[in-house]
Structure 1
Amino acid sequence: MIGQMFENSRLSMRKLASDERGATLVEFGFVAPILVVLVMGVFDLAHTQYTSALLNGAMQKAGRDLTLESAGSQQDTIDGQVINIVSEVLPNTAEVDLEKLSHFDFSDIGQPEDFNDDNLDGICNNNELFFDMNDNGQWDPDRGQAGIGSARDAVLYTATVTYPRVFPMAGLIGLDENVTLAASTVLRNQPFDEQDRTLETGNCA
């Protein structure tokens, strides 16, 4: 009797081992998470690229609008247009930061304010004389002055967009939960007046 039970158990195990019903479901269970993350990743990348293209296009148009003589009174309108264009494809919690820095010339963009490096340490300190090119009373690593400046000034206009990812896959593959995009345009104001090159000086702390 025990032998018969053993034989029946062996036959049942053999049948179970050869039974392939449900194998597809099990295989899909292994593949599905990877497939879902891959699909969401593709859509997330596509959304990011589309948003970046919209942002760059909006900045280029804003750059052209800001070169006009009437730009001084239209800054809020131009800024609003940039924000409205990118906001159409972004979550409500997205943040759009706009910055305008005016410079005397294109070569000044991204450059620090000049100073007399008396101790040759490459740092503005020890009461060294500096040229306050942006007129804010302190030495700055970027000599740009906030705003669009005046006649003939070169302006660096930058937009930075930060928003939570549209597709919830960041935590699954170790990405940041937020996306940050930036776009810049450089323009020169129309020469409807003369540039003011008057410079104040100060002393570094």
Structure 2
Amino acid sequence: MMKRTKLNRLARRIRGNEDGMTVVEFALIAPTFLLLMMGTFDMGHMVYANAVLNGAVQTAARDASLEGGDTKAADDMVMDRIDGIMPGVKLKTNRRSYYDFADIERAEQWNDSDDNGICNDGEAYTDENGNGQWDEDIGVEGNGGANDVVIYTVEAKYEPVFNVPFMPKQWKERTLQSSAVKKNQPFANQSSYSSTAGTC
């Protein structure tokens, strides 16, 4: 009986004792809180990096649209602006020019006699971009000439600054992309499309 009373008193004392509860609560909450915090920092950094990339791409596209615009210098400027923000960044740039805005991603004109949307089986076409073949996209690689419309696209691959633990391996590399569409200054007469005929 005496033993049971002592046990009851001890149980009451233990039940009322809250020493160490904070440590247990911290151990339960801390991993989730830290994961949430790292994810927030990672998202914030990505949004900031994307904003800087967009600004740099707009400036580079505008600079390259002037007479004598230096595309290499424009690409280097984009790299300079984002290099310190995106660790180990690798840039891939592309410029595609068109005669007018209406021509963006337009196919070269052809006689689609079988109505399948592809130039084939000896169908006649006009080689408007002058490359000797029919193209689904009439655009020409490069910065174009006077008064041409240019789509400038930059893809940046980098390692996130804040690596969120327990995330898949594909999250170890982040890819951001930005594009700008600009019309080159009319510093000369614009070259018109070719009228050379061909067959597919």
TM range (shorter): 0.7 to 0.9
**Structure 2 residue runs without a partner (length 5+):** none
Deviation at 1:159, TM superposition (A): 1.0
Match of 2:80 among 78, 84, 87: 84
Cα distance in 1, alignment partners of residues 194 and 100 from structure 2? 14
Cα distance in 2, alignment partners of residues 202 and 10 from structure 1? 100
| SS of the residue 1:160 aligns to | strand
Deviation at 1:19, TM superposition (A): 2.3
Q: Given residue 53 of structure 2, which amino acid in structure 1 is its aligned partner?
A: L
Match of 1:35 among 18, 33, 36: 33
Cα distance in 1, alignment partners of residues 111 and 71 from structure 2? 36
The 1:101/1:14 distance shift into structure 2, 3 A limit, reads: same
TM norm structure 2: 0.85
Q: Given residue 90 of structure 1, which amino acid in structure 2 is its aligned partner?
A: M
Matches within 5 A, 1:1-205: 4-71=2-69, 74-92=70-88, 94-169=89-164, 171-172=166-167, 176-194=171-189, 195-204=191-200
The 1:6/1:87 distance shift into structure 2, 3 A limit, reads: same
Cα distance in 2, alignment partners of residues 202 and 7 from structure 1? 105
Deviation at 1:13, TM superposition (A): 3.7
Q: Given residue 30 of structure 2, which amino acid in structure 1 is its aligned partner?
A: A
Superposed CA RMSD: 2.5
Note the alpha carbon deviations across 1:30-51, whole angstroms, 9 max, x for none. Answer: 2112211221122112211211
**Structure 1 residue runs without a partner (length 5+):** none
Cα distance in 2, alignment partners of residues 188 and 35 from structure 1? 49
Moved more, 118-127 or 100-109: 118-127
Deviation at 1:67, TM superposition (A): 1.9
Cα distance in 2, alignment partners of residues 108 and 178 from structure 1? 35
Alignment coverage as a number of residue pairs: 199
TM norm structure 1: 0.83
